[in-house]
Structure 1
Amino acid sequence: MHAVLVSVCLLLVTPISLSWWAAGSQLVMDPHQICKKTRRLRGKLADICNNKPGLLKQIALGIGLGQFECQYQFRFRRWNCTSTRRSIRKVLMSDTRETGFVNALVAAGVTYQITRACTTGDLIGCSCDRKMKRHKKHRKKQKIDSTPQGDWEWEGCGGENVDFGIKKCKDYLDTRYRKRSDMKTLVKLHNYAAGRWAVKNFMRMECKCHGLSGSCTLKTCWRKLPNFREVGNRLKERFDGAAKVIAGNDGQSFIPEGDTIKPPGKLDLVYSEDTPNYCAANNSLGSFGTQGRVCDDKSLGEEGCGILCCGRGYRKFYKTESKDCKCIFKWCCEVKCEQCNETRAISTCL
């Protein structure tokens, strides 16, 4: 499974030509080939490619983390974030809500993985968040879940250094854009930032007490990354409420498409193109359609046959499987089971 994730994320991060997701780009699977064309790169991105193989490895793992989470969050949707036959690559060439969600998860995954690798010692050249130790008063301003009550101090140097993860994520994802006034770039950079904020804003506080006989003479606390599933859940909520935007009059920003729509904040996802329905197979869109997809004939949600099958209907069949049952532990040390047949109904889209 780990090898599959690495392969997937290498597919996603290959920095070739002027467009990361250009249709004619040659995609490579070998991490040593990701930066093969570094002569075309400059600045921080070139430095990562040429001098920081350990960081590049964590970036690749981080994008694999984001890709895996996307497949979980979209498992019931018409487009389910599949990477089969480069479907995701073609989706990312557009500027739909799905594109924004994937880009946000990519940035979140990279930020998360680099921060975690820094904490575990898998990444050399970084440390925990020392500025939290230097500025104790800063703790009152932190928007962190479960802020402890009463007197407490930072443990060590404050916890996991998410700011380092954010910085290196920006160095890799953002710095290659020299022109930042075109609409697609503005939207992409905004969603990258939203993904990074989804990690930082939902870090949690953990504390422990110090003292004799269970007393809490001194309480020390530190910042800890949330579970990445929580990050994915937050971004899925933002996806459901994403705002459609158009170019602003200054040519350097975007504004909501409708006058009554509230301007999106830094945590919100944005998009500029309507989503195709993904009901039918369309290679140019990266859509495989929904024919043959398993659906829930009792649900009215996105996993329900009514929505997932796009009104075409579904067929229902029954599958019988053999499984262990009526297991008994016999002394010593054996478990004996009977074989039972279990029949379950499966519905698939026509």
Structure 2
Amino acid sequence: MSVSFLRNLILLCVGIFVFPVTTGYFGISGREPVLIMTLGEHQRPMSNKIRSYAAPSVCDMLKLHGKQKRMCKRGKGVPETLIDATKLSLSECQAKFQNERWNCSMGIYRQNILRKSFKETSFLYSITSAGLVHAFARACSLQRLETCTCDESKNLTHRKTWGWGGCGDNIKFGLKFTRRFLGRARRSGKDVRAELDQHNINLGLKIVKDHVRTTCKCHGVSGSCTTKTCWRQLLPFSAIGKILKDKYERAVRVASFKNQATGRSRLVKFQKNSNALNVSFGISPKKGDLIYLENSPSFCKKTRYSPGTYGRHCIKDSSCDIVCCGRGYNIQNVVVKKSCECRVIWCCYVKCKQCNVTEEVHTCK
């Protein structure tokens, strides 16, 4: 089926997330996790653990479709980059939603959300497609892939960039690989959900592509610019995540309108107080819109889509009212160790003591 890679990209980032099992979903249309690995007692970074396996083994562990598996095995560095993409998208998703009711929760909750058409589902599709492009474009410039190298854009000096320490991120390769890997909706126009998902996937690709920057560096005697080398750089993924989070906040609800003459359906902006399904002149969403079909649940109580917010940490005077859903919060004093009495040791490092500090922790009732 179409867009067969992004059902979700979930992977634990060690040191940020503390869970015994890490799960990744590499198929938009698939329901099975592509990767389930126990981190173990040492909590080693997943990228290191994955790299300890032979590439074919990693590709077999990923529950990929035939074409995807062939692409995974074909080139050196591809399996590792796929894993890096999962870490990138998941960590950014959880960072952007850590102080909200839906906090990019994993496991069965994520699987259930992906079966729906909520705003959260749309965000997952866009952030994960963006993560794929970003990871593969960056892998080219870092020489991790055999099939690509620095950015090959015209009018940029590349032969000299290696010598000066600059190498452009190959956004062209990243987009090409991702589009081939994900495929396209075969039933576009007939399958409303496929069209919706494809739109949000394309949004993730568009955001990365539209925010590539050209960086230049001058070289010459006494700072003169007798030689200038330029290369293209991706926007930091945290900035990509912020743009997509803003799109999420302004997401557009759509409905399906079926043309009775052709039998084809298209998405139009949902109109309140009217039946959008019967509005033949409905306004189509823009390419830059994050779109969804169904209103989201509140995520306040435990349901099939969320573990609820009971016991969740929140920030007083900032997120507690929202996260705790008006139920209030408990306050607990905890003792933590922090660096204190720091001083600079000549010449090159700072020495600090470890002090016990009492802090307030707020958890939702």
Which among 293, 296, 302 is matched to residue 281 of structure 1? Answer: 302
Q: Is residue 73 from structure 1 mapped to residue 96 from structure 2 by the alignment? A: yes
Q: Give 1:161-240 correspondences, 5 Å limit.
A: 161-175=170-184, 177-180=185-188, 181-240=190-249
- Bigger Cα displacement from structure 2, 241-250 vs 230-239: 241-250
- Are positions 1:63 and 2:86 aligned together? yes
Shift of 1:334: 11
C-alpha separation in 1, matches of 2:199 and 2:22: 21
Work out the CA distance in 1 between the residues paired with 2:151 and 2:117: 35
Give the SS at the match of 1:253. strand
- Structure 1 unaligned spans of 5+: 137-153
Whether 1:29 and 2:36 are equivalent positions in the alignment is yes
Distance in 2, Cα, partners of 1:159 & 1:76: 35
1:71 Cα deviation after fit: 0.6
In 1: Cα distance, 2:343 partner to 2:252 partner: 57
What CA RMSD, in Å, does the superposition of the two structures yield over aligned residues?
A: 3.2
In structure 2, relative to structure 1, the CA distance for the partners of 1:127 and 1:314 (3 Å cut) is same
Aligned match of 1:155 = 157
Give the structure with the higher percent helix: 1
Query: Which SS does the other structure have where 1:307 is aligned?
Result: helix
Find the counterpart in structure 1 of residue 292 from structure 2: 271
* Closer/same/farther in 2, CA of residues 51 and 290 from structure 1, 3 Å limit: same
Pairwise CA distance, 1:266: 1.9
Give, in whole Å, the separation in 1 of the partners of 2:224 and 2:351: 49
The alpha-carbon distance between structure 1 residues 161 and 89, as it changes in their structure 2 partners (threshold 3 A), is: same
Q: How far apart, CA to CA, are the structure 1 residues paired with 2:345 and 2:73?
A: 61
Is the alpha carbon distance of 1:230 and 1:329 closer, same or farther for their aligned partners in structure 2, counting shifts above 3 Å? closer
User: How far off is 1:345 after superposition?
Assistant: 1.7
Partner of 1:108: 130
Evaluate the alpha carbon distance shift between residue 253 and residue 313 of structure 1 in structure 2; reply closer, same or farther with a 3 A threshold.
same
Partner Cα distance (1:346, 1:311) in 2: 18
The one-letter code of the counterpart of 2:322 is I
Amino acid at match of 1:241: R
Closer/same/farther in 2, CA of residues 53 and 189 from structure 1, 3 Å limit: farther
1:19 to 19, 26, 29: 29
Q: Give the corresponding residue for 1:295.
A: 314
Report which stretch shifted further, 323-332 or 97-106. 323-332
CA distance, structure 2, for counterparts of residue 205 and residue 333 of structure 1: 34
Query: What is the distance in 1 between the residues matched to 2:168 and 2:351?
Result: 49
SS at match of 2:231: strand
Q: How does 1:119-130 map to 2 (within 5 A)?
A: 119-130=141-152
Which deviations, in whole Å up to 9, do the C-alpha atoms of 1:234-272 show, x marking residues without a partner? 111111111111113343421110289974322221111
- 1:199–1:225 CA contact under 8 A, matched in 2: yes
Matched to 1:155, the amino acid is: T
Q: Residues of 1 paired with 2:90 and 2:351: CA distance?
A: 41
Higher alpha-carbon deviation: 305-314 or 66-75: 305-314
Match of 2:329 in 1: 314
Question: What does the per-residue CA deviation read over 1:258-290, in whole Å, with 9 as the maximum and x for residues that have no partner?
Answer: 2899743222211111110000011x22x0000
Q: CA deviation at 1:33?
A: 2.8
In structure 1, C-alpha distance between the alignment counterparts of 2:346 and 2:218, rounded to whole Å: 44
Counting matched residue pairs gives: 310
CA contact (8 A) 2:60 2:69 kept: no
Query: Would the alpha carbon gap of residues 179 and 60 (structure 1) be closer, same or farther in structure 2, given more than 3 Å must change?
Result: farther
Aligned to 1:347: 362
Residues in 2 aligned to 1:235 and 1:271: alpha-carbon distance in whole angstroms: 14
- Counterpart residue number, 1:147: none
Q: Does 1:246 align with 2:264?
A: no
Bigger drift between 114-123 and 52-61 goes to 52-61
Measure how far apart 1:104 and its partner are. Answer: 0.6
Q: Retained in 1: the 8 A contact 2:332–2:361?
A: yes
What SS does the aligned partner of 1:199 have?
helix
CA distance in 2, matches of 1:341, 1:161: 48
For 1:32, give the aligned amino acid: C
Task: In structure 2, list runs of 5 or more residues that go unmatched.
Answer: 1-10, 15-19, 38-57, 160-166, 275-281
